Chain A
Amino acid sequence: MLMIIGSGVLKGLGVTLKTFLETYPWGRAMLRVLGIAKTDGLVTIQYPDEKQEHSERFRYFPFLVYDGTPDNLRCVACRICEQECPPQCIHIVVAKDEQGRPLKANGRTLPKQFDIDISICMSCRICVDVCPFDAIEMDNQYELSGYDRAGEMYFTKEKLLKSADYFKSIKPTEAAVVDQRLAAKKKKETPG
Chain B
Amino acid sequence: MALRTDAKPTLETQPLEVNLGPQHPSTHGVFRMMVSLDGETIVKLKPVFGYLHRNHEQIAEDITYIASFPFTDRLDYFCAMSNNLGLAIAIEKLADVTVAERGEYLRVIMAELTRLVNHTAVTGFLLNDMGAFGTPLLYAFREREKILDLFEAASGSRMMCNYIRPGGVREDVPDGWLKRAKEIVDRYPTFLDEFEALLTKNEIIRQRTQRVGVLSKELAISAGVTGPMLRASGVNYDIRKVDGYSFYSRFSFKVPLGSIGDVYDRYSVRILEMRQSVQILQQAFKQIPDTGPAISPKGVALVKAPRTFRPPKGDAYGRIESPKGELGFYLVSDGSPQPYRYHVRAPSFVNLTILEDMCLGCKVADAVIILGSVDIVMGEVDR
Chain A residues with CB under 8 Å of B71's CB are: 86
Cα–Cα distance between A54 and B156 once the two chains are bound (Å): 9
Interface 0/1 of A1-12, CB less than 8 Å to B? 000011111011
Chain B residues with CB under 8 Å of A8's CB are: 200-206
Contact check: which of A40, A54, A56 meets B142 at CB < 8 Å?
A: A40
Verify if B354 is at the interface (C-beta below 8 Å from A).
no
Verify if B190 is at the interface (C-beta below 8 Å from A).
yes
Interface 0/1 of B128-159, CB less than 8 Å to A? 00000001000100100100010011111100
Verify if B11 is at the interface (C-beta below 8 Å from A).
no
Chain A residues with CB under 8 Å of B70's CB are: 86, 122, 124, 126
Least Cβ–Cβ distance between B221 and chain A, in angstroms: 33
Contact check: which of A16, A58, A84, A129 meets B170 at CB < 8 Å?
A: A129
Contact check: which of B67, B69, B149, B201 meets A7 at CB < 8 Å?
A: B201
Contact check: which of A37, A54, A124 meets B69 at CB < 8 Å?
A: A124
Verify if A119 is at the interface (C-beta below 8 Å from B).
no
Verify if A83 is at the interface (C-beta below 8 Å from B).
yes
Cα–Cα distance between A29 and B155 once the two chains are bound (Å): 37
With contacts A84-B64, A124-B69, A126-B67 taken as known, whether A57 is within 8 angstroms of B156 at the C-beta atoms is: yes
Name the residue among A5, A84, A129 with the largest chain B CB count within 10 angstroms.
Answer: A129
Interface size on A, residues (CB 8 A): 36
Cα–Cα distance between A9 and B323 once the two chains are bound (Å): 29
Verify if B303 is at the interface (C-beta below 8 Å from A).
yes
A86 touches B63 (CB 8 A): yes
**Chain B 166-198 interface residues, beta-carbon cutoff 8 Å to A:** 170, 174, 187, 190, 194, 197-198
Verify if A33 is at the interface (C-beta below 8 Å from B).
no
Name the residue among A18, A38, A56, A125 with the largest chain B CB count within 10 angstroms.
Answer: A125
With contacts A59-B157, A124-B162 taken as known, whether A12 is within 8 angstroms of B306 at the C-beta atoms is: no
Least Cβ–Cβ distance between B35 and chain A, in angstroms: 30
Least Cβ–Cβ distance between A56 and chain B, in angstroms: 7
Q: Kindly report which residue of chain B lies nearest to residue A54, judged by CB atoms.
A: B152
B306 touches A37 (CB 8 A): no
B66 touches A57 (CB 8 A): no
Q: Give the interface residue-count category, chain B.
A: 35 or more
A55 touches B142 (CB 8 A): no
Cα–Cα distance between A9 and B208 once the two chains are bound (Å): 14
With contacts A54-B152, A59-B157, A125-B162 taken as known, whether A16 is within 8 angstroms of B203 at the C-beta atoms is: no
Cα–Cα distance between A84 and B64 once the two chains are bound (Å): 8
Verify if A72 is at the interface (C-beta below 8 Å from B).
no
Name the residue among A18, A19, A138 with the largest chain B CB count within 10 angstroms.
Answer: A19
B142 touches A43 (CB 8 A): yes
A129 touches B304 (CB 8 A): yes
Contact check: which of A54, A55, A85, A122 meets B160 at CB < 8 Å?
A: A122
Chain A residues with CB under 8 Å of B154's CB are: 57
Verify if A141 is at the interface (C-beta below 8 Å from B).
no
**Chain A 98-126 interface residues, beta-carbon cutoff 8 Å to B:** 122-126
Cα–Cα distance between A11 and B155 once the two chains are bound (Å): 39
Cα–Cα distance between A83 and B305 once the two chains are bound (Å): 11
With contacts A9-B202, A12-B202, A124-B69 taken as known, whether A130 is within 8 angstroms of B306 at the C-beta atoms is: yes
Extra inter-chain contacts (17) besides given A12-B199, A16-B198, CB under 8 Å: A5-B203, A11-B201, A12-B198, A15-B198, A16-B135, A18-B194, A19-B139, A37-B190, A38-B190, A43-B145, A56-B153, A57-B152, A59-B157, A83-B307, A85-B67, A125-B156, A129-B303
Q: Can you list 12 residue pairs at the A/B interface with Cβ under 8 Å?
A: A11-B201, A55-B156, A57-B156, A84-B307, A85-B67, A86-B63, A122-B74, A124-B160, A125-B156, A125-B170, A129-B303, A130-B306
